[in-house]
Structure 1
């Protein structure tokens, strides 16, 4: 037909980038090959921030499960990537093995996520990991000087967080130095504490002031909330919460909620609950567990109380719509819906108390590390070949 011609409509670049910022990291990684301008755009702070905020806004959560199949020193902890797609019932998509931590006991301990980044550590070994971009950074050994005549050094509580003022990721770590071993009793006669701080921007450690209280407790949940990291601590016979401000690099304390019991009777786990500090309490004994969640918003208030859930051991993390991942008495991963009281077995097993759920949103944030391939990290699809 005459008078008709094909027309080409140019889509504005800003609109293209807006659309691309809503895609998963796996797609963006493939699209880096489309053009150099696209590849460069994906690395700009504006695009990285926009992409992360879109994932937060849409609650695009991913799940990792840390677990172990045995309890001997030769047994290796690994991560399982769980499907979050509808109808897949949190099935295992792939298993991930980290050689850097294979010779460690109960390792790695996981802190985070913080903007999609995890901090993994055991004793003096520490690394940052972005599971979305598959970038892994082994942190340098601490250069902080130890006191003279130290017989041994133990690395204790560690915290990982973000400093928004300097756009820096920081790791704070408690260190205990022991002196003068008593050979007859096999005990250390004296000790001293140090606290050291790692900056990703500087890629180095420095010593900072030691607080009056020593932070402890292994993080079952994410303990970094809005630039503060939280530990349990004890002062005399009183239990408190120790916090560290990632911006001013200062410690402070706050009280526990008046939850109606003692920590001899109840376990306490601190967690990020919708951007606020939460404290979940559950009894140490019994086969029917109850869970009380307290939230700090100027003062402590009880947010949630779940009564008498049969056949479970401990909480592992909240999911969308208030559902709660739990470890069953048979050491299976289960999902509990408080609104219907339905307890769903997800068919995933691990050795007792080795499971940890890590819920995170994807992030393009670089950590100045190396690729998983370079670090010999193995991703193996469930029942399949290495990926």
Structure 2
């Protein structure tokens, strides 16, 4: 990782429409979506093969969430899509809204979408603050982040689990801890980075969810890191973080060193970042790029 000094430009599939809003990578395949979540593509940048998906018709959806992962038992790549539907009159005004969303799951092996049952125990407030993308595939599970917790989805059994309460809530002033990361895959375990007060200074700490469902503080990061957000754990002791002024940086938590991510100078509006590993994986129905 210390030798990363350059970037490679990749050409998106010719049928791609709109800007990339969502990007996740799994075993060398990349899932892409546009802003409206009505154009979804599975793509292998190394083999230059791709597949544009036929998506369910949710023309009146107002909230969306997307996730991409791999069922290692069934040897199947899956896409989880959450949408809240609304009903509009002939003038386009909303007349009713179904606050409880619908979930659809795409199976690459079957090449079909199917409806997934949403648990009745999850409050509407969770969905009202649902993030627009799931975290990475962590040991065969995707995690949706909403108000107060994380909702796991089991990619093997195609079912939602029980809500996992976050270690600290952003609005809990008494604890003076602020969430500073997206959902992270830290060495195969779910992890989050929080900032907490330490005297007159603040400290960033990595908290990991153990097998018993308890949050354990793994270690502290240096106090003067100056990263406003952690996006990915890349392995080999490296995180990818963002400074709102100076851009994306690599951070080695053992050596406590940072290095600026070498984006080309003309790329000033970064929409998505993903960890990617090269592979030759190919799916049924893949087409070759022109």
Same fold (TM over 0.5): yes
- Could you state the TM-score of these two structures normalised by the residue count of structure 1? 0.60
Contact 1:289 1:312 in 2 (8 A): no
What CA distance in whole angstroms lies between the structure 1 residues aligned with 2:216 and 2:251? 23
Counterparts of residues 316-331 of structure 1 (less than 5 Å):
316-331=231-246
Equivalent residue number for residue 227 of structure 1: 140
**Cα distance change of structure 1 residues 98 and 309 upon mapping to structure 2, 3 Å threshold:** farther
Query: CA separation in 1, counterparts of 2:204 and 2:289?
Result: 38
- Cα distance in structure 2, aligned partners of 1:207 and 1:257: 27
Q: Which has the higher helix share?
A: 1
Paired residue secondary structure (1:137): strand
How far apart are 1:167 and its partner, in Å?
A: 1.7
Q: With the length of structure 2 as denominator, give the TM-score of the two structures.
A: 0.78
Alignment match, 1:131: 45
- Please tell me whether residue 247 in structure 1 is matched to residue 156 in structure 2: yes
SS of the residue corresponding to residue 74 of structure 2 reads: coil
Tell me which moved more, 121-130 or 186-195. Answer: 186-195
Which of 105, 114, 121 is the equivalent residue of 2:26? 114
Describe the SS at the equivalent of 1:361. coil
Cα distance change of structure 1 residues 187 and 297 upon mapping to structure 2, 3 Å threshold = same
CA distance in 2, matches of 1:259, 1:161: 27
Residue 180 of structure 1, CA deviation = 4.2
Matched, 1:335 2:250: yes
Instruction: Indicate if the aligned counterparts of 1:231 and 1:270 stay in contact, CA closer than 8 A.
Output: no
Other-structure match for 1:91: 6
Distance 1:321 1:201, change over 3 A: closer
Aligned counterpart for 2:204 among listed residues 272, 280, 291: 291
- Aligned CA distance change for structure 1 residues 249 and 313 (closer, same or farther; 3 Å): same
CA spacing shift, 1:304–1:129, aligned 2, 3 Å? farther
Cα distance change on mapping 1:91 and 1:153 into 2, 3 Å: same
- Local SS of the residue matching 1:335: strand
Look at both structures and tell me which one has the larger radius of gyration over its CA atoms: 1
Partner of 1:194: 102
Report the Cα offset of residue 142 of structure 1: 2.3
Q: For the aligned residues, what is the CA RMSD?
A: 3.2
Task: Give the drift of 1:178.
Answer: 0.5
Check 1:320–1:175 CA distance in 2 against 1; reply closer, same or farther (3 A cut).
closer
Change (3 A) 1:346 1:125: closer
1:254 is displaced (CA, Å) by 3.2
Q: Which runs of 5+ in 2 are unaligned?
A: none
Deviation of 1:200 (Å): 0.8
Instruction: Give the Å deviation of 1:182.
Output: 10
2:282 to 360, 366, 374: 366
Q: Which residue of 1 aligns with 2:119?
A: 211
CA distance in 1, matches of 2:262, 2:68: 32
Report the CA distance shift for 1:310/1:225 in structure 2 as closer, same or farther (over 3 A): closer
Among candidates 168, 174, 188, match of residue 275 of structure 1: 188
CA 276–178 in structure 1, closer or farther in 2 if over 3 Å, else same = same
Partners of 1:289 and 1:307 within 8 A in 2:
no
Partners of 1:302 and 1:343 lie apart in 2 by 22
